[in-house]
Amino acid sequence: MLESIKEELHWLHLELPKQNLVTWTSGNISARDPQSGLVVIKPSGIRYEDLRPEHMVVVDLEGDVVEG
């Protein structure tokens, strides 16, 4: 579900520490799919270098987990 968004967010999260925009595991980028209205976000506590697209969490606008 929303694999292309997960891939893009994965790449963007890898750039955050390279650009000195975050420290440790703090800081997230999320994206909302305009067609479904669902949001993809990085889960808390995963180090950027350990992050994979399949770790991304999909939630609805009420915050209910749909996937991940």
Q: Residue 27: which domain range?
A: 3-67
> CA distances (Å), 20 to each of 11, 16, 58, in order?
15, 6, 26
* pLDDT for residue 26: 76
Q: With 0.75 as the threshold, say if the pTM is over it.
A: yes
* pLDDT for residue 25: 67
Residue 33: what are its φ and ψ, rounded to 5°?
-80, 120
Helices (H), 1-68: 3-18
> CA distances (Å), 11 to each of 14, 16, 53, 62, in order?
5, 9, 9, 26
Total domains in the chain come to 1
Q: What does the pLDDT profile of the chain (68 residues) look like in tens digits?
A: 899 999 999 999 999 988 988 877 678 899 999 999 999 999 988 888 899 999 999 999 999 999 98
